[in-house]
Amino acid sequence: MRSTRCAGAPARPGPGPRRPPRTPRAARSPIPRRTTARTRTSGKKRPRCTAVLPPPPRSPESPPRPPADCSLAGALAAPALALAGRSGSADGESAGGDLGTLEVNQNWIRTTEFAGEYFADSRGYYTDAGFTEVTLIPGGPSGTSSEAMVLSNSALVGMTTPLAAGSMVAGEEAPLVPLGAKFQRNPFTICSTSATPITTPADLVGKRIGVATGTNEVLFDALLEVNGIDPADVERVTVQFDPQPLINGEVDGQICTLTNEAITVSLAGLEAVNLPLADNGLPFVSGAFVTTLQNVAERREELKGFLAATVRGWKDALADPEESARLAYEEYGADLGLDPEKERRQAEAQNQLVVSDETDANGLFTISDELAAKNIELLALAGHEVDQDAFFDPTLLQEVYEENPDLLPA
């Protein structure tokens, strides 16, 4: 039998319409970049991040959302509420102001994780795309899942993982669709220290591993399964998301992220040793932009405007990690008491997850067919059968890069 005990630490702060036929990559033809005017109302500073919208109502039986980057099977229980779609501009152009307001649901508090969105907002890229006002809705322990927000039409786009959205597509027939992902490699890791280093999956045997409830439990189970490790051979210790149990030596390793808790361990003066899940059988993408099939059909220009502006923002974030961090700790997350050094390290670490051979060839956020297939395989491993072609929709990003070739890598 598996041994389980607890070590506490405070927690850290019906199918819709068919999508249009997809255009094969080989059929792309460059289209000259459209030009848009940079709009500032009456010369005044444009307001950013307006008041957060209230979350959609939740039924009393709905379980709380795990405060993590990914919410997998059973972690999300939001009803697929009726959607009130809006139409984008018919001619595909996005002159300033024609796309209306933009609501984007983030899946964690306002840390450097969302640097690209901060750049796109603060430098007016969303305004240039045609949006009159932008609301970046923070997530976190008390937030509402991106799936629930887009299904209720409280946000046009939300950030999640294909595993989270796919579990709802398979289990509830939710009309969700990922358009791309900013993190080509997910940030999850088994973090240990030089005192008891865990450098291979086999090193997990006989070790005490801290696992937070919810998403991380599913990830840990999957890690053991894909590596052929009997769960009875590992002592699972229930922890919260804070890595203090690892720092205190109460566990030998803990599920963390390379961009957050693993950095906290290093800042505590310990030598962090990481076993990234992406390199050890779980290569799913993260930070996926999810919306609904109805939005794809009826609000296509808004989605493309969002994607184009956000690509511009992430190109800036990749070029300037120092400013990425500053935007988080001085502006967007100024009320959170963020550690500037930790935010700087996070900016540098996450930049390594954003780029890949695929993005170097086809642009940021794109997901190769091979990587998409691996995500579908992981969904199947968790018991969720999802059709790859019916789930992922790369056509909006394809159109964005056709219409804005300057966004492609040089």
pLDDT confidence of residue 24: 41
For the chain, residues with pLDDT lower than 50 are 1-95
pLDDT confidence of residue 140: 83
pLDDT confidence of residue 12: 37
pLDDT confidence of residue 122: 98
Q: What is the pTM of this model?
A: 0.78
Secondary structure class of 396 (helix, strand, coil): helix
Integer Cα distance of 201 and 281 in angstroms = 10
Strands ordered across the beta sheet of 157-160 = 131-137, 100-105, 157-160, 286-292, 176-183
DSSP class of residue 33 equals P
pLDDT confidence of residue 97: 64
Residue with tokens 């209230």: 54
Residue-wise pLDDT for 234-287, tens only, equals 999 999 999 999 999 999 999 999 999 999 999 999 999 999 999 999 999 999
Residue type, 324: S
Integer Cα distance of 156 and 45 in angstroms = 24
Instruction: With CA atoms as reference, report the closest residue to 127 among 188, 209, 36, 208.
Output: 36
pLDDT confidence of residue 124: 98
pLDDT confidence of residue 215: 79
* Residues 290/178, Cβ–Cβ less than 8 Å: yes
Integer Cα distance of 180 and 356 in angstroms = 14
Integer Cα distance of 114 and 286 in angstroms = 12
Q: Which residues of 280-316 are buried (b: 16+ CB within 10 A; e: fewer)?
A: bbbbbbbbbbbbbbbbbebbbbbbbbbbbbbbbbbbb
Q: Which residues of 29-62 are buried (b: 16+ CB within 10 A; e: fewer)?
A: eeeeeeebeeeeeeeeeeebbeeeeebbebeeee
HSE on the CB side for 227, CA within 13 Å?
Answer: 23
pLDDT confidence of residue 373: 97
